Structure 1
Amino acid sequence: MVSLSWPDYLSSSVLSHENIIALIVFVIVYFLVTFYQRGRDLANIPPGPKPWPVVGNFGGFLIPTFIRRSFGQQPDSSVINAVVVLTEQANVYGNVYSLFVGSQLVVVLNGYEVVKDALSNHPDVFSDRPTVPTVTIMTKRKGIVFAPYGPVWRKQRRFCHTTLRNFGLGKLSLEPCILQGLATIKTELLKLNEESGGAGVDMAPLISNAVSNVICSLILGQRFPHDDLEFRNMLGLMVRGLEICVNIPAVLINVFPLLYYLPFGVFKELRQVERDITVFLKRIIAKHRETLDPDSPRDLADMYFIEMLSQQAAGEEDSSFTEDYLFYIIGDLFIAGTDTTSNSVLWTLLYMVLHPDIQEKVQAEIDEVVGRNSVPSLTDKGSLPFTEATIMEVQRLATVVPLGIPHMASETTEFRGYTIPKGTVVLPNLWSVHRDPTVWDDPDSFNPARFLDDEGKLIRKECFMPFGTGRRVCMGEQLAKMELFLMVTSLLQAFEFRLPEGVPPPPLHGRFGLTLAPCPYTVCVNLRR
């Protein structure tokens, strides 16, 4: 065999003119077929702004829009969040329109009729979850929230829902657990308020701790004291992680996934947040494994281990019940069960200090129905229509999960006259549903009475969907409703809330992460006499 040096190789017949021409023709044909196929796949997709090369609309549309708003070059420049920007585009392109994040097609659904049609009438197509690099890197497409739709997800969700119900989810038996956290809040509030000297109290750490301890009791079988610094740090990391995920640099990970591994900035911070939360949760899971008593399960984690061991004993080699999968389920429930409900309570208290007349009406109703000496209970809920209407109106205006969790088209389908290709990311804009002028009168105003009829009875409306709709509706909806009702009624029964003297109210556009949190604020707390 004759070996060729590199110069000889170049001059050999291997790269003859015929072969070079053939190679060029192959490359041209390949790209022509690729572009033809891509053009055919994208034919008749919903309209939208023209994307930039490589970065898509992320560069050509979102960044310039955010810059203009940030420098006040558009009216109402205080409203600087992606939800408002995305909702406004429906006025230009219609309630179903397209964006590109890199080469990934994203279809945004706006308004009640469109969102309901997609998620309720086409569940087989729009119930899947996309492979979004930022999320996939951290969740490995496992768990309850971000896992793809299919038999594994259905089996895991069914097990978790049944187990949580057995431990009190949605039942009166869970009420003492919620009230226990409220007792801590009340004690700490008075102490912190006195120490503040009129500067006000930041309610966020107290509320977050109490809410998180409820889900921790269900899934981990333990509560964490308010002064547990490691636990408070975990809650802070969770909030920060959700904020980072929608930061412009972090969103770029979805265009260039390797950015996730850069050793600086938010990329490094995001990895550190993930590592710290992972260490915290895996240590608790390991302790559960070591102390497991199959005859006396304490929580969801124990029940999961029992199911896992049962399937192993039955010889089910391909079982999805593994310790690794348990980790992602607990992570999902820990984060989803804390952040959304905490923010809902904080939004409600903020609206109460901004609308003291509504606060007084809610307190008057609680006084009349519950009294001053009895603790509010879930059994009182049906007798407090104005209170419940007020909570619902806050949920409508705040929309804590404004874009839901991203969905994905599991197959190419026709929807509302457009072609939605398989693999398209679908964003149900719940914010736009709750601000839809076709179903809500004066949608931007705060008016709890919109949820009451002429006799003062509560009205249930299909266009009210703070927990989403369809097959991927939030599994913790009942728990969130219980916590929100008990916390709001108990706090308003005991205290009057107002802004500190001379302090301007915080802006209502909120802080946009995967959830929408209120901007930081403090309140002065006075015991009601």
Structure 2
Amino acid sequence: MVSLSWLENLSSSVLSHVNIVALTVIVYYLFIFYQRRWDHANIPPGPKPWPVVGNFGGFLIPSFIHRRFGQQSDGTYRNAVVVLTEQANVYGNVYSLFVGTQLVVVLNGYEVVKDALSNHPDVFSDRPAIPAVTIMTKRKGIVFAAYGPVWRKQRRFCHTTLRNFGLGKLSLEPCILQGLADIKTELLRLNEESGGAGVDLAPLISNAVSNVICSLILGQRFHREDREFRTMLGLMVRGLEICVNSPAILINIFPLLYYLPFGVFKELRQVERDITVFLKKIIAKHRETLDPESPRDLADMYLLEMLSQQAAGEEDSSFTEDYLFYIIGDLFIAGTDTTSNSVLWILLYMVLHPDIQDKVQAEIDEVVGRHRVPSLTDKGSLPFTEATIMEVQRLTVVVPLGIPHMASETTEFRGYTIPKGTVILPNLWSVHRDPTVWDNPDSFNPARFLDDEGRLLRKECFIPFGIGRRVCMGEQLAKMELFLTVTILLQAFKFRLPEGEPPPPLHGRFGLTLAPCPFTVCVSLRK
């Protein structure tokens, strides 16, 4: 027994030493991998990566950045995109990072971003297979799908169909106005109930905005008290937050972490399951009630196209219920989160700059008056209001790093070699803070979008919806919603911070989108 125990201890000791040696060899070769790629590939410069994790911990985990790099002497924080933008001052407007062994190239400034996405669209229009995103989207849909014939066909069909149902047209205005009428009624009730403590605008805005895209793709609106729908909106926000701003971001280095049975990894899988159940139930209901003679929405049109291609014997058609599921998910998220956050940012800036709020309201009073609701036909007559909306969009950029792109082939760009498969991050935040194209870029100044005669100025370096072939498909819808929401709410109400309440910080909460930090407002009817 003693001899056997000694032998077991010896074996355990040998195995332990073998593991240490193996780990050392792996780390050494990873170090050599980085060093050779770094020194000889002519890739853009950047901070030296560590083995295994690359630059991941130091630059791409927003929570880590907030704790380690972001805190200022006054206790405030710089968000992740500010830190990434500052690196351009060290390494130039085209620089590299490594996420694990994945090369990431960050593009900064208007000229560089435009050059890549507009002048080299065939190279830089693909989407990367980022593990956390791929697991959730399977690289299908409209937003996260790989670039190619299938994506072009699906996007063309969706864009044409949505336009037929009113996307970007005046015919959609009543749908938007219906949601805003509900907001006005609910705001007054909640403000009275709060007793001056303030109202959280986020749930009201999110519900109204989401119902517009729901009416287009699902043919129905959801009441603000609909528990399942409110849960769905909450899951959507939480899912994005987990993917980008929690330890679950490590899935992008170690994909198997997704299957861990605890913590945010378990929560992420549950979020995915709950969203899947909600959307697939809606698709099933559409299938059961489909009337070929009277399609109600995008889902109906898609199912009809799917049946048409099946009848024509197209066995390899990409039009499937599975693909429809990912399209609906993409449009639902993209059509809710970005626009909702833009509206919240605008209202927050109005609270923090009451003089600008007064000027916007004075313009609305002069052009529209108090006895009718603002319309999209008033848009050209409200230049200062439009300029204010644009200035807040410039400063906040709700999708500050865009949606990641990928190089579909090895190419030379700005004197550097960009290998095939490189992730490309177009830093739209840096575009909107670029001092070479904007005077005093960090200051809030709506007048920068007006000429000397007070007419609206269109600037090509203003690209909150992206640029190139992957530009946001819902840009026109978002502009309609922003204009109507801002003008209608500011025509009716005065917004201010609750008495004695400090203003919320402006660094925002960085997920896939940049949301304002939670805040409440007091609302009063304008006399």
- TM value normalised by structure 2: 0.92
For 1:290 and 1:253, the matched residues in 2 are separated by 38
Q: CA deviation at 1:59?
A: 2.8
Q: CA deviation at 1:36?
A: 11
Instruction: Give the counterpart of 1:193 among 191, 194, 197.
Output: 191
Instruction: Give the counterpart of 2:277 among 267, 276, 279.
Output: 279
1:58 partner amino acid = F
Name the SS of the counterpart of 1:245 in structure 2.
Answer: helix
1:67 partner amino acid = R
1:487 and 2:489 equivalent?
A: no
For 1:48 and 1:163, the matched residues in 2 are separated by 44
Pair 1:520–1:37, CA change in 2 (3 A) = closer
For 1:133 and 1:241, the matched residues in 2 are separated by 15
Name the SS of the counterpart of 2:336 in structure 1.
Answer: helix
For 1:42 and 1:379, the matched residues in 2 are separated by 58
1:418 partner amino acid = Y
1:312 and 2:272 equivalent?
A: no
1:462 and 2:468 equivalent?
A: no
Deviations 1:63-105 (A, max 9, x none): 67543236x4x55652242111101111111110000000000
Deviations 1:108-153 (A, max 9, x none): 0001111011101110100000000000000000000000100000
For 2:240 and 2:339, the matched residues in 1 are separated by 14
After superposition, residues 32-431 of structure 1 pair within 5 angstroms as: 39=37, 43-62=41-60, 65-69=65-69, 72=71, 75=73, 78-431=76-429
CA contact (8 A) 2:34 2:49 kept: no
CA contact (8 A) 1:42 1:421 kept: no
1:327 partner amino acid = F
2:505 partner amino acid = P
Q: CA deviation at 1:38?
A: 6.7
For 2:445 and 2:255, the matched residues in 1 are separated by 44
For 1:271 and 1:357, the matched residues in 2 are separated by 46
Instruction: Give the counterpart of 1:444 among 436, 442, 445.
Output: 442
Unaligned runs of 5+ in 2: 1-24
For 2:35 and 2:161, the matched residues in 1 are separated by 47
2:440 partner amino acid = D
For 1:93 and 1:40, the matched residues in 2 are separated by 14
CA contact (8 A) 2:246 2:264 kept: no
1:3 alignment counterpart: none
Deviations 1:428-456 (A, max 9, x none): 00000000000000000100000000000
Name the SS of the counterpart of 1:253 in structure 2.
Answer: helix
Name the SS of the counterpart of 1:109 in structure 2.
Answer: strand
Aligned residues: 498
CA contact (8 A) 1:51 1:61 kept: no
2:457 partner amino acid = I
CA contact (8 A) 1:106 1:425 kept: yes
1:510 alignment counterpart: 508
1:12 alignment counterpart: none
CA contact (8 A) 1:403 1:429 kept: yes
- TM value normalised by structure 1: 0.92
Pair 1:41–1:231, CA change in 2 (3 A) = farther
Unaligned runs of 5+ in 1: 1-26
Deviations 1:334-381 (A, max 9, x none): 000000000000000000000000001000000111110111000000
CA RMSD of aligned residues (A): 1.8
2:485 partner amino acid = M
For 1:66 and 1:186, the matched residues in 2 are separated by 36
CA contact (8 A) 1:110 1:428 kept: yes
Deviations 1:175-209 (A, max 9, x none): 00000000000000000000000000000000000
CA contact (8 A) 1:49 1:61 kept: no
1:278 partner amino acid = T
- Structure 1 vs Structure 2: percent identity of aligned residues? 89
1:506 partner amino acid = P
